[in-house]
Chain A
Amino acid sequence: MKIEHKLYLSNAVHILLIVLIGIFALRNLNAILTKFRFTVIAEGLNATFLEMRLAEKNYFLYGDEEALTRIRNSTKKTTDTLQRVKPEIIRAVGAANYIKLQDYLNKYTKLVESIGKAGHRNASSQKKKLREAGQVLKTFSEDMTALESERIGTIIGRSKNILLYSFWAVVLFALLLSNLIVRNIGHSLRTINDLTREIARGNYQKIEAKPSRDEMGAVLKAINAMAEELRKREKEIVQSKRLASIGLLVAGVAHELNNPLNNISMIAQTYAEAYDRLGKEERVGFMERVGEETERLRVIVHPLLDYAKPKKQYLARAAANQVIQKTLALVKNMLDISNIKIRQNLAQELPDIFIDKHQIQQVLVNMATNVIQAMSKGGELSITTRYLEDDDDVEIEIRDNGKGIPPEFLDHIFDPFFTTKEESGTGLGLWVSYGIVKNHQGNIRVRSKVGVGTTFVITLPTCKKLGVA
């Protein structure tokens, strides 16, 4: 369900609950109000009864006609009141009780008449009956009032409790619901966060998340689609980079070959043209120089042949530090002659890498050669290894304090045949090294500052990262 809908539903339920509580409260209040009104009426009736009894006592004490009239009036008033509030009384105590009340009142009224006729001194049995009837009426009315008051109390008490409970129920329910929704959103957001972080790292894997048909699910779907696109694009980019690299290579080769070819051409032309004039040694010399030029050609062409065949890798588990130390042993003489001091900063515990030792050694030798060219008057070469935990890579850093590389060259430094003006060599070393490292699922980067030095950083995945036993 969409989050929007969840929220609407939650709101609706809350409103419903509150409305229900409200209705409940209102009904109880109405009930209380009705009962309260009744007690007012009942009190009124009580007062009338009291008046009646007083008149009755008065008559029996003094026996004057005035008192009798007063009793008659009171009884009439009571009868009228009873008649008037009949519906309220029936609602409060039921029809049966009303009839009972009416009967006793009638009985009382009749007794009053008969006592009046007989004269107050004579009707002692009637007087007794009258007193009894009066008592019944009084008690009855009082009981009715008390009962109603009690009922009011009960209703109020009950309402109070239920309101209290439902208040807490609503609060709890609200907290629970919002907690659920927030957790749901939070979980989805966390998933998205992890996903995008992986994508930022260049890991365009699809996330298998439970497909929820709400907004979060839609976002996840979109992100997965984006990752898929990125993966496709990356492949395209790698491909076009490769093509561009080949293009550069071909252009570079053509260019590099041209000079030795021209030289051979010129030697051949001159040899043919001036054959008669040339002495034996000169002619021999010419051919030797042709040989030298073809050697130049060979040096250019040879690494290309390697590039043409898919370079078979003999991969094995290896310790980076060990490979480095072996390579250093190889190049130590070369470095010593150039007055270059070696400083090693190898990490104590490095996870193993999965490499073709020979190829990686080739890369390191190439690095060393570059360092020697950068520091013709000597300097310091420092090698550092470290384990990058976040990426599960081993990092090899090779730093010199030589003359550095100008920023405009840094972008091209791994191009085939790239050399700065001062460098000797064909300019293929770094290009080949780049290829080797890339073939190992690694990366090689360069940082440099003119006058300060250059740093090459090679990263290679650990055995664990590659999923190698």
Chain B
Amino acid sequence: MAKHSIMVIDDEKIVGDMAKLSFEQDGYEVETFLNGESALGRLKDKPFDVVVTDLKMKGVDGLEVLRTVKKLYPGIVVILITAFANLDVAIEALRNDVHDFFPKPVKFKELKASIKRALGDE
């Protein structure tokens, strides 16, 4: 049984660290990144199943990650987490085929349920 892989992108290191612990507990393979560029670079080498990304980051931000992933790897599920919940952004994300949207502070239970649903749908 292949493990599903999750990529977590957030410029707050703690988010990645905690997410990694939490997801690994459920049997996922997790890699964390502090910015969009390095994450997209990694995707070239490894096709992740799920990308969980923060919206507001310096450089390549969450929306750009979403667009790029959907363009290059449409099969990958993308979930946005953000401290910055705003209708325009939400609409834009929806238009770009985001799977789900979580405002911070994030409840891991809900996030994991969403991931499970997404992978179940596949």
Contact = CB atoms under 8 A, between A and B. Distances in A.
Given A258-B105, A269-B107, A263 B83 contact: no
Nearest to B103: A258
Interface string A286-302: 00010001000000000
Contacts of A255: 83-84
B44 interface: no
Contacts of B119: none
B94 interface: no
A266 B84 contact: no
Contacts of A289: 14
A262 B15 contact: yes
A293 B104 CA distance: 15
A270 interface: yes
A196 B108 CA distance: 65
Contact of B15 (A266, A273, A277): A266
Contacts, number: 55
B114 interface: no
Nearest to A277: B25
A262 B21 contact: no
Contacts of A263: 12, 14-15, 18
Contacts of B25: 273-274, 277
B104 A258 contact: yes
A270 B58 contact: no
Contacts of A267: 14, 18
B108 A259 contact: no
A7 to B, nearest CB: 67
A5 interface: no
Interface in B11-70: 12, 14-15, 18-19, 21-22, 25, 58
B55 to A, nearest CB: 12
A277 B27 CA distance: 14
Contacts of B83: 255, 258-259, 262
A421 interface: yes
A267 B25 CA distance: 14
A265 B12 CA distance: 13
Contacts of B104: 258-259, 261-262, 265
Given A255-B83, A289-B14, A293-B14, A265 B22 contact: no
B91 interface: no
B106 interface: yes
B105 A261 contact: yes
A249 to B, nearest CB: 17
B106 A265 contact: yes
Given A255-B83, A258-B105, A274 B12 contact: no
A79 B109 CA distance: 153
A296 to B, nearest CB: 10
A267 B20 CA distance: 11
Nearest to A264: B105
A259 B55 CA distance: 12
B26 to A, nearest CB: 10
B113 to A, nearest CB: 13
A426 B25 CA distance: 35
B105 A265 contact: yes
Contacts of B15: 262-263, 266
A266 B18 CA distance: 6
B106 A262 contact: yes
Most B-side CB within 10 Å, residue of A262, A264, A270, A277:
A262
Interface string A160-178: 0000000000000000000
B19 A266 contact: yes
Interface of A: 255, 258-259, 261-267, 269-270, 273-274, 277, 289, 293, 421
7 contacts: A258-B83, A266-B15, A266-B106, A267-B14, A269-B109, A270-B18, A289-B14
Given A261-B104, A270-B21, 14 more contacts: A255-B83, A258-B104, A259-B83, A262-B12, A262-B104, A263-B12, A265-B106, A266-B14, A266-B18, A266-B22, A266-B108, A269-B109, A273-B25, A421-B58
